[in-house]
Homo-oligomer: A and B are copies of this chain.
Amino acid sequence: MSARKAINLKMLSEALGLSQTTVSRALNGFPEVAEKTRARVIEAAERLNYRPSPSAASLATGKSRMIGHVVSLSEHIMINPHFADFIAGAGEVYGENGYDILLRLASLEEQEGVYRDLVDDQRVDGVVVHGPLTGDSRIGLLNALGLPFVVHGRSDEEGADYCWMDVNNRRAFHRATKFLLDLGHQRVALVNGLETMNFADRRRQGYEVALEEAGIVLDEQLLHSADMVEPYGYHATRALMDLAEPPTAIVVASVLPAMGVTRALADLGLRAGEDVSIIAFDDCLSFLQSGYKGRTPDIPYFTAVRSSIRDAGKRVAQMLLERIENPAGPLQSELWEADFVIGQTTAPPRRR
């Protein structure tokens, strides 16, 4: 290990017998500096462990090399476990590009104020919008503020005036529902996420269209909507199975409530995949994956529509950095199709 004490530009330039200007230019890749001196400068900078002060650089340039993530971990607790995997993916990309994450916890009502402050303070070069609602006011605000941002998900039908990356939730749930109907199920329930969230709205649309195509009339009793936690899946299932005509299959918005669904069925002496079929949306949450290295993967438990939220985090981060580098460029957007994986929780309905 070489010199450890922090050194500044002035000291470095004196050590080199050059001006601060030249050293700065050499380090920042300006074209007008002679390649020979640039090499000298870079070598000395490494040797003497020179690191430019972020606050000084930020003050001089107005750029912070920070990305803001403003989340309400408390209210919509569903964001919570999903958030960790998303940020794990995004953080990887930030790290490779010399950016850091500024994490701010704020309720949805507080978030507009937070964005304003973040801009006024020049604290971040861009932000990621999490958990967009249908008709989300944050998007208009961010456009007005001129702060680069990418939405994880979408806020409306078109999504034309902002960058976004989303999974095709409508098609995924259409497909899941159709799969169950094709197996012969007639009563398929939907244990959805909170339908103020745009993604949940789209999922419901996919479900409804599939029913309609099969000529099945929607039964409101088979619809549930709430924050996607385990106990929600449990209670929704208990209610569903108490109906005069209970469902024979359930489509669930996340593996978290899906575990609650399974637990409720077990309590009733029913087995998932035999007595009742389940298809869940699987975000590939890390703590539910088999992490054993070099091990052949399990046959998945849940039949699922699947899309890695961690990969989504990576992609959103890339899109945001591109947008920050080129704010005048075209608005990018990306729609991913979910995989469909057959697990152990689907089968034709039991004959009565």
A residues with a Cβ closer than 8 A to B are: 4, 6, 49, 51, 53-56, 58-59, 64, 66, 69, 73-74, 77-78, 80-81, 83-85, 87-88, 91-92, 95, 100-106, 116-117, 119-123, 226-232, 235, 256, 259, 262-263, 266, 271, 285-292, 298, 301
Contact = CB atoms under 8 A, between A and B. Distances in A.
B95 A100 contact: no
B80 A85 contact: yes
A345 to B, nearest CB: 11
A66 B123 CA distance: 11
A287 B81 contact: yes
A229 to B, nearest CB: 5
Report the copy number of this chain in the oligomer: 2
Nearest to A76: B291
Contacts of A77: 286-287, 289, 291
B101 A88 contact: no
Residue among A69, A80, A95, A117 with the most chain B CB within 10 A? Answer: A80
Contacts of A106: 95
A290 B53 contact: no
Contact of A122 (B53, B100, B105, B288): B53
Contacts of A298: 231
B51 A121 contact: yes
A64 B102 CA distance: 12
Given A59-B56, A81-B287, A259-B259, A95 B104 contact: yes
B231 A288 contact: yes
Given A100-B104, A122-B53, A230-B287, A263 B84 contact: no
27 contacts: A4-B116, A51-B117, A53-B121, A55-B64, A55-B122, A73-B91, A74-B286, A77-B286, A77-B287, A78-B287, A80-B286, A81-B81, A87-B103, A92-B105, A95-B104, A101-B102, A101-B104, A102-B102, A103-B103, A227-B291, A229-B286, A231-B292, A232-B291, A256-B287, A262-B266, A263-B301, A266-B266
Contacts of A49: 120
A78 B271 CA distance: 29
A91 B229 CA distance: 22
A80 B263 contact: no
A97 to B, nearest CB: 13
Nearest first, the 7 closest Cβ-Cβ pairs linking A and B are A91-B105, A55-B58, A73-B88, A101-B103, A231-B290, A6-B120, A77-B286
A103 B120 CA distance: 21
A226 B291 CA distance: 10
A91 B103 contact: yes
A59 B57 CA distance: 10
